[in-house]
Structure 1
Amino acid sequence: MVTTGEPAVGEKRVTWAELYFDLVFVFAVTQVSGLLHHHHDWRGVAEALVVFVPVYWCWVGTTVQANIRDVDNLRDRVGILLVGLAGLFMALAVPGAWGGRGVLLGAGYWLARVVLVVLLIRVPGVWRGPYGVGVLVSGPLLVVGGLLPDGPRLALWAAAAACDLAAPVLFRRRLAAVAYHPSHMPERFATFLLVALGESIVGIGATAARARLDAPELTAVAAAFTISAGLWWQYFVYAADAMRHAVEVTDSRRDVVRRIFQYGHLALVAGVIGVAVGFGETVADPWRALGPGAVALLYGGCGLYLLTFGYTRWMMFRKVATTRITAALLVLGLLPAMINLPALAVLVALAVLLVALNVVEHLIVARVATGEPGEPGEAPEASPAAIPTPSSPTVIPTPSSPSAPAAAE
């Protein structure tokens, strides 16, 4: 069992229990997308985000617990399945979270946090860290909020989400001694992003299956799929290996895990969910003008996704992701002009932009690989110029780490 001390070495495989556990969150992401599909205004986005954070944080807590311990045993398999059941309760509650199922959402989350604390009860300091915050603060806030009307409920649930998100920062010194397996963490978060990208495929297919599927509809399907594939390409071709490298060579895995995986992937997944919901508004009726709500989800989600790579690259390597930030600003700048255009034109324009971005980054990577000079900060994350060599392992500056053991998240 690995919880504290020196950084873990060697490969740590994802267990079958974890992969089965992920299936619950495939359904949960679909439910959150459905909630957002019915409410495109700012309040609807806020309500969907406040509901999504505890769902995501439940998954994060289980993933970190599986990372720092050996969970391929009877006790932990049963524990992971119990958290999965709690996650299923939460997913079932999402469509009525702002109605009569608020208590079910809160109780499901609280149950998940209690199970995780029980699984980690032998770890010194588990109560004085993020897991304790989930049991003692955010879980009760979610349950009590479920008993209140919409306005106070939103305020209390937002406070619960803020507590969970702030806990790794507030307890960062206590988490300094936690030993994370560097191979397991990137794989798990990449899997969750795949779950979200799968929702974008559902957003295309579920809508198109009910359409006439004439040439305009099929063209819209092709454009939407190109967008989804372009988002996949940005992460899994250009960023995934760089993220894994960063967590392997950094002096502080705690900071990489918190900044890049826990926070960065929350934004990446939220962006993909926005795009997925936007697909549901575009494919079935390609000649209809979308209006501000659907375009904001589609282009805003894509812009958030690309801007997040600017954040992750700076956190990992202190380099500017010039091409992605430029593309994100272009996407967001085009948003107002797309509101009154047919859905097909909106999809094609975004697809062309993402293909162009990936082509440019491919050319930059190829040029850097052959040793040709480029502008500082120009190369994408996966290029040799973007990744520091093992001889200079410090990626993220960190303060001195205390020796006190603590549970991680």
Structure 2
Amino acid sequence: MSTAGESIDEKRVTWAELYFDLVFVFAVTQVSGLLHHHHDWGGVARALVVFVPVYWCWVGTTVQANIRDVDTPRDRLGILAVGLAGLFMALAVPGAYEGRGVLLGAGYWAARVLLLVLLIRVPGVWRGPYGVGVLVSGPLLFVGGLLPEGPRLVLWTLGALCDLSGPVLFRNRLAKVAYHPQHMPERFALFLLVALGESIVGIGATAAAVRLDAAELAAVAAAFTISAGLWWQYFVYAADAMRHAVTVADSRRDVIRRVFQYGHLALVAGVIAVAVGFGETVADPRRALGAGSVALLYGGCGLYLLTFGYTRWMMFRAVSTTRIVAAAVVFALVPAMVRLPALVVLVVLAVLVVALNVVEHVRVARAAAAVPAVGDGPPGVEPVGAGAAAE
């Protein structure tokens, strides 16, 4: 929460933003539910097309809160109004491709209009991503909601692509925006926590409905180990590096766009897929999983780890070898896991994630020991703590 005496680098998240996030806890749960019922590639595509506007609504509000002092009655009410529109979107997700398409499109369009109104005093704000949301992607989602499923999916995909391309198309205009470097990493880390919370729900809600014998408890322990390992990868080894990168970057706009807006879309999507996979494995750990469930669990984990290779390159132009190799191993194991009991599938993935964290810990310890003697870290490593060394 910013005050009159704070510098631009000291902006913090407000209580209104944290309350706003509660809507998206529910929204992520709804997207997970949609994916739970459709494991094929078509189902994944439909869930992603719905998730992008939900995520982009949150991103738009986060950017608005970053570049303005939102701890005022007007802006608090504005954030709450966007939250209500987001709640309508979340309610529409389960029936997005049936009778609730209009509700999702109308909720998204309303959210984009509200965000533009909140920023209307910023010169030329409509000639940028916020204008795209009001004039292009919002109408596409609304009109798509009126059409049958096939044309609806096409229009919604176009709307999602328009939103995602906005920061690139208006890159030069966004260069004039003064971003608060401390606020942005905190906000995106909180959204990732929301997704990781969904992985806990995927474990607990399923386990609570079964008999909980030794196999189920072992599956719960293995799934929790995976979730905790994914948390460890980000919050122990990556979060500090991301905060450092956006603070010292020559172009904060590029770091925010590449690492946060795009990179975290992939991170959160990966965690949601893992969460859905947990629900399938914990339910009956003795049975073999189908290809769809294994693909969600291992594919989501692989995507999550592979994204760190992307973010490290975007920040430091360095290769995250350990995570890329780990992601490749996870992807390669998918065919072998399809016919194995769910408990074995979970245990194997848990062992891989724990092993990766151990390797990262050793690398960080060695890098920290080398800094005092050499005076500079290895290429691409910034001497700002363990997180930067690993990331």
1:193 alignment partner in structure 2: 192
Measure the CA separation in 2 of the matches of 1:58 and 1:73: 21
Residue 84 of structure 2 corresponds to residue 85 of structure 1: yes
2:276 alignment partner in structure 1: 277
Deviation at 1:368, TM superposition (A): 1.1
Runs of 4+ more than 3 Å apart: 372-388
User: Which amino acid in 2 is paired with 1:195?
Assistant: V
1:30 alignment partner in structure 2: 29
Deviation at 1:387, TM superposition (A): 9.0
Match of 1:144, SS? helix
Deviation at 1:284, TM superposition (A): 1.6
* TM-score, structure 2 as length reference: 0.95
Deviation at 1:245, TM superposition (A): 0.2
334 and 249 in structure 1: CA distance in 2 versus 1, 3 angstrom threshold: same
Output aligned runs, 1:214-293, within 5 Å. Answer: 214-293=213-292
Measure the CA separation in 1 of the matches of 2:348 and 2:125: 50
1:142 alignment partner in structure 2: 141
1:324 alignment partner in structure 2: 323
1:404 alignment partner in structure 2: none
User: Which amino acid in 1 is paired with 2:333?
Assistant: L
Output aligned runs, 1:2-13, within 5 Å. Answer: 9-13=8-12
1:104 alignment partner in structure 2: 103
Higher helix share: 2
User: Which amino acid in 2 is paired with 1:68?
Assistant: I
User: Which amino acid in 2 is paired with 1:129?
Assistant: G
Higher relative contact order, structure no. (Cα contacts within 8 Å, ≥ 6 residues apart): 1
2:338 alignment partner in structure 1: 339
317 and 376 in structure 1: CA distance in 2 versus 1, 3 angstrom threshold: closer
C-alpha distance after superposition, 1:284-324 (max 9, x if no partner)? 20001111000000000000000000000000000000000
Q: Quick one: percent identity of the two aligned structures? A: 82
User: Which amino acid in 2 is paired with 1:198?
Assistant: G
Is contact 2:316–2:380 with CA below 8 Å preserved after alignment? no
User: Which amino acid in 2 is paired with 1:288?
Assistant: R
- Root-mean-square deviation (Å): 1.9
C-alpha distance after superposition, 1:205-253 (max 9, x if no partner)? 0000011110000000000000000000000000000000000000101
381 and 265 in structure 1: CA distance in 2 versus 1, 3 angstrom threshold: farther
1:353 alignment partner in structure 2: 352
Match of 1:370, SS? helix
1:175 alignment partner in structure 2: 174
Measure the CA separation in 2 of the matches of 1:350 and 1:60: 31
* TM-score, structure 1 as length reference: 0.91
233 and 92 in structure 1: CA distance in 2 versus 1, 3 angstrom threshold: same
Output aligned runs, 1:386-405, within 5 Å. Answer: 386=389
Measure the CA separation in 2 of the matches of 1:380 and 1:186: 19
Deviation at 1:32, TM superposition (A): 0.1
Is contact 1:58–1:113 with CA below 8 Å preserved after alignment? yes
* Matched residues, number: 382
Deviation at 1:10, TM superposition (A): 2.9
250 and 356 in structure 1: CA distance in 2 versus 1, 3 angstrom threshold: same
C-alpha distance after superposition, 1:368-409 (max 9, x if no partner)? 111189986799996487499xxxxxxxxxxxxxxxxxxxxx
Output aligned runs, 1:351-390, within 5 Å. Answer: 351-371=350-370, 383=386, 386=389
1:299 alignment partner in structure 2: 298
User: Which amino acid in 1 is paired with 2:348?
Assistant: A
1:20 alignment partner in structure 2: 19
Structure 2: gaps (5+ residues): none
Match of 1:283, SS? helix
387 and 326 in structure 1: CA distance in 2 versus 1, 3 angstrom threshold: closer
